[in-house]
Structure 1
Amino acid sequence: MEQMREAAAHWIMMHEHPFTILDEEGFNLMMRRGMPEWQKISRTTCRADCMKIYEIEKKRLKKSLECIDKISLTTDCWKSKTQKIEYMVVTGHWIDSCWNLQKRVLSFINIPPPRGGLQISDAIFKCMKEWGIENKVFTITVDNASSNDLAIRYMKDTIQRSRTLACEGNLFHIRCCAHILNLCVQDGLREIEDIISNIRESVEYVNRSEARRMQFTECVQQLQLKDKRLIRDCKTRWNSTFEMLSCALKFKEVFQMFKERDHFYGCCPQEEEWNKAQKICSLLEAFWTATHIISGSEYPTSNLFLQEVQKIKSSLDTYAQHEDLFLKQLASKMKEKFDKYWGDCNLLMAIAAVLDPTKKMLAVEFCFPKLYSEIDASKHISKVKEIINSLYEKYVAEETNKGAPHPSESESFGSSSVKRNQQSSVYSWDDFDDYCAKVETSETKRSELVDYLEKGRLKKNEIPKIFSCLEWWKMNRMQYPILSKMAADILAIPVSSVASEATFSAGTRVIDSYRSSLSPDTVQALLCGGDWLRKIHGLKKKTKVS
């Protein structure tokens, strides 16, 4: 029975079921059929079991984090549906000993108002201290709220009192790419709110009854269209709205024909409105593709983004010069917002691209002139080279310090020590060894970074169909023992702070009404524990459309 209680708690946590599910007669009837000795589990007992499992798994995860040198964090905000409670979820991202990219929810913290930069900073520090990772945090990815900017400034100042941050802290603060793309897209969609509303109402009107659907299908058949059905959208997910518009555009003639047959249909868009919808879809296509790259993998590595973001930037630049006034104004507005954050994002994306063996430095030299003026492009390319060299030197220094003898290993006083010192003096020559080390290194052995960058990149015909940048570094870690470690840490940095299933969401993440009624400690145990157990049992969380 003890094992069944544990299994029931795992089930509750993994699938986010309410404790009340254990009271259901049907569930208990099913359990007694398979196991006559089954005894009903009370909600209080199940909650206690869940809290116990949370504590056990927390200790186990904390132990495994002791072996990790660097960890990157992301934060994301959630709100309660029924209460005015705000939560901040902190997720850790790292590379394990088998070179797999790992992601775990570490804390689900209730932050009481006022929720300012100092409160956010304190909450993250508390989480870091609790997990023993305060000296291991490499980067933090957050959305673009001003309170987050302030929080990260507090954190950088505090951390730099006790240790040096990589690249003078230039890489510590990562702005969420998905949030930036969402902001730009929302600016665009806002310009045609009325048109979107008309198209959405048209789709819903047709789907409201079987008779209308049949009449619409007859119109489709008469016009001999390949596409058969309309797509409904979810208002808080902009990709869903984009897909609804793209699909509806294929049926614009059908809607007109349908209007002639149904006199109660009064929301059919005009030709000019269809044209505007077409224009905005052509502009948003690059955003849709890039965001699919972000959400297409549960763990997208940071080398995937530079080329996609460059395509968006180039698309916005082109449309901002368009002869069509509507498109020109729309693109200019979106470009202004994009440019505001682009400069803060490109550094990590550029470094990650350089550490992709299919791109290397050529990717940056190809990309930056398309994004900046000639002078700025040259300046930014030099900055990327400088940061990569600085980062590599830090990794070399860390590796050297690891290999240095511990003070306790120094020789003790005594006659044997004196004899050894006398013997070693025969071979000593002041500064000779240091001189030889410098000359021999510069003459015979290039640094791993120079060796990697000077070798040609992988060509198309050399790249397997399924290529993993992380896997390539794992395979080449013997050739590049230090650089491969640096590459793994960089590739593990999340470019987006939101979970992949929420990447397209324009709304706030919301905790359901059931979990809102629980205490913050219970909510944290269930949501963190559920995340850990899904990883243990190899389950992927199903997307819930909000």
Structure 2
Amino acid sequence: MSEIFLSTMKKFDLLPLLHCTVSDNASNNTRFAQCLADNLDPSTHHYNSLGTHISCLAHVAALVVKAMLHCLSEHDEINIIEKLHKLAVTIRLSPQRREKYYNDFILKDEDDIIKLPKVRAPTRWDGDYLILERAVAIKQTLVNIWKQREYSEFQLDATEWRMVDSLIRLLEPFRFVTLQVQEASNNISTTYPHYEYMFSHLEHESKNKGVIGKLCKLGRDKLKEYYGRSDVQSHKYYCSTVLNPSYNARFFKTFDNGKYYQAAMDAFEKEYNHYQTTDPRREIRNPTESHDVNQKKPTQLWSAVMKKAKPTAVNELAIYQKEESREIDDILLWWRDHETTYPVLARMAKDFLSIPGASTFLEESFSAGQDTKNRGSMKEDLINATFTTGSITTLRRNIDSK
């Protein structure tokens, strides 16, 4: 896999732009990162399998939820999701049952009058969440259908409905994080804020007694495990978060009680100094040499008036830190508008804010590619044109929605 990746990057002359890679936590992806690092020249590419390989946050959220739901399945008395799944399968398998469901059981004055119960999607963690969400949306319809003998075995009692509400409240923030990081415009500058969001949620919900409290404690331990793994890539996360004007360095003063503020600032200032000294627009010349043909010897008046006005180096970082943190919809557009104010920081933003926080957006493209590849009569040029047209259509749709 690493050989195909390298050959593709070389083919399109993209290898000099390689900053890092992002994938889920599967072992084959870890091996891919190791092989890639072994095949790259360390003198020209600062890539290693640990510090520059980013874990997909959507996959982390999925693994945390999967662990909690697995624990839930161990409680024999709690088979709510299984009941709702089997009910959906029973109705959907028969055209006669589906027709009767639409005609006899749905309340005609309800807004949601056409939706069936959802079935479980084994490949998606949020399939269980969507089953519960749909059940609440069509609760009255389900109450009507359970009056029929053939569906009575799937009925939920009052205690189970309360558990449905609790599970939705537990899983909803993870669903929110998953949807957020799946957006093509998302990058790793929001990874630490999303971790903080999930930690705070689990901490709050763990105060509940019984099964929900147990699930929260398990989920929190699992989340800590994956959060701890991000320490080796902390340099990337630190710089990206600080470069997000919605959070800035102030985020680390509140994140985990300010534990990482100094580490974040040290990493960021080190990277800032590196970019400042390697700025391609920076003039490298002897300061005593003059290249201005119009320059002349200072007059007595100018020397007398301006001798106290010593030149001062403008520290972009210090000025940027004084920027007020506020929620910004498009941070890349913000940096484009402030590029003249912060030229060095803007260069850093182009690099660090281009790192996606999740690989799900690209995985969707690969899935679409599999469907297209199965059309055996399509040639390579036509497949490329199909993908290009689809990408342009998606981009225009996203722009129009904004």
* Residue 447 (structure 1) aligned to one of 300, 305, 315: 315
Give the conservation status (yes or no) of the 8 Å contact 1:206–1:213.
no
Quick one: distance in 1 between partners of 2:31 and 2:178?
Answer: 27
Quick one: distance in 2 between partners of 1:143 and 1:381?
Answer: 28
Number of aligned positions between the proteins: 361
Quick one: distance in 1 between partners of 2:227 and 2:237?
Answer: 11
Where structure 1 has 5 or more consecutive residues not aligned to the other structure, the ranges are 1-119, 370-376, 406-439
* Residue 530 (structure 1) aligned to one of 373, 379, 386: 386
What is the deviation of 1:137?
0.7
SS at match of 1:477: coil
Check if 1:291 corresponds to 2:178: yes
SS at match of 1:357: coil
Root-mean-square deviation (CA, aligned residues, Å) is 3.8
* TM-score normalized with structure 1 length: 0.57
* Residue 367 (structure 1) aligned to one of 255, 259, 262: 255
What is the deviation of 1:445?
1.5
* Residue 175 (structure 1) aligned to one of 50, 55, 77: 55
Q: Residue 517 and residue 500 in structure 1: after superposition, are their counterparts in 2 closer, same or farther (change >3 A)?
A: closer
Give the conservation status (yes or no) of the 8 Å contact 1:185–1:284.
yes
* Residue 194 (structure 2) aligned to one of 298, 308, 316: 308
SS at match of 2:154: coil
In structure 2, the residue matched to 1:128 is 9
Q: Residue 448 and residue 185 in structure 1: after superposition, are their counterparts in 2 closer, same or farther (change >3 A)?
A: same
Code of the residue aligned with 1:198 in structure 2: it is K
The within-5 A match list for 1:403-418 is 403-404=283-284
What is the deviation of 1:313?
1.7
Code of the residue aligned with 2:245 in structure 1: it is P
SS at match of 1:209: helix
Quick one: distance in 2 between partners of 1:532 and 1:258?
Answer: 47
* Residue 162 (structure 1) aligned to one of 28, 43, 53: 43
Code of the residue aligned with 1:279 in structure 2: it is S
Where structure 2 has 5 or more consecutive residues not aligned to the other structure, the ranges are 74-78, 286-309
More strand by share: 1
What is the deviation of 1:475?
1.0
Residues 35-56 of structure 1: CA deviation (Å, up to 9, x unaligned): xxxxxxxxxxxxxxxxxxxxxx
What is the deviation of 1:186?
2.5
Check if 1:196 corresponds to 2:81: yes
Quick one: distance in 2 between partners of 1:382 and 1:170?
Answer: 22
Residues 224-254 of structure 1: CA deviation (Å, up to 9, x unaligned): x765454535614444542331231354465
Residues 47-74 of structure 1: CA deviation (Å, up to 9, x unaligned): xxxxxxxxxxxxxxxxxxxxxxxxxxxx
Q: Residue 300 and residue 154 in structure 1: after superposition, are their counterparts in 2 closer, same or farther (change >3 A)?
A: same
Check if 1:153 corresponds to 2:34: yes
Give the conservation status (yes or no) of the 8 Å contact 2:191–2:237.
yes
Q: Residue 131 and residue 323 in structure 1: after superposition, are their counterparts in 2 closer, same or farther (change >3 A)?
A: same
Give the conservation status (yes or no) of the 8 Å contact 1:140–1:174.
yes
In structure 2, the residue matched to 1:98 is none
The within-5 A match list for 1:266-345 is 266-271=152-157, 272-295=159-182, 297-319=183-205, 321-345=206-230
The within-5 A match list for 1:7-406 is 120-159=1-40, 161-163=42-44, 165=46, 172-191=52-71, 194-205=79-90, 208-218=97-107, 228=113, 230-231=115-116, 232-233=118-119, 235=121, 236-252=123-139, 254-260=141-147, 262-271=148-157, 272-295=159-182, 297-319=183-205, 321-345=206-230, 347=234, 348-369=236-257, 377-378=258-259, 380-399=260-279, 403-404=283-284
Give the conservation status (yes or no) of the 8 Å contact 2:22–2:53.
yes
Give the conservation status (yes or no) of the 8 Å contact 2:120–2:131.
no
Quick one: distance in 1 between partners of 2:362 and 2:153?
Answer: 35
Quick one: distance in 2 between partners of 1:191 and 1:215?
Answer: 38
What is the deviation of 1:362?
1.0
Give the conservation status (yes or no) of the 8 Å contact 1:255–1:268.
no
Q: Residue 280 and residue 191 in structure 1: after superposition, are their counterparts in 2 closer, same or farther (change >3 A)?
A: farther
Q: Residue 344 and residue 381 in structure 1: after superposition, are their counterparts in 2 closer, same or farther (change >3 A)?
A: farther
Quick one: distance in 1 between partners of 2:124 and 2:382?
Answer: 26
Identity of aligned residues (%): 20
SS at match of 2:22: strand
Give the conservation status (yes or no) of the 8 Å contact 2:72–2:215.
no
Give the conservation status (yes or no) of the 8 Å contact 2:86–2:119.
no
What is the deviation of 1:511?
6.1
Code of the residue aligned with 1:334 in structure 2: it is G
Residues 483-521 of structure 1: CA deviation (Å, up to 9, x unaligned): 111112211111111217849xxxx948657734759xx
Give the conservation status (yes or no) of the 8 Å contact 1:140–1:172.
yes
Q: Residue 171 and residue 381 in structure 1: after superposition, are their counterparts in 2 closer, same or farther (change >3 A)?
A: farther
SS at match of 2:341: coil
Quick one: distance in 2 between partners of 1:307 and 1:469?
Answer: 15
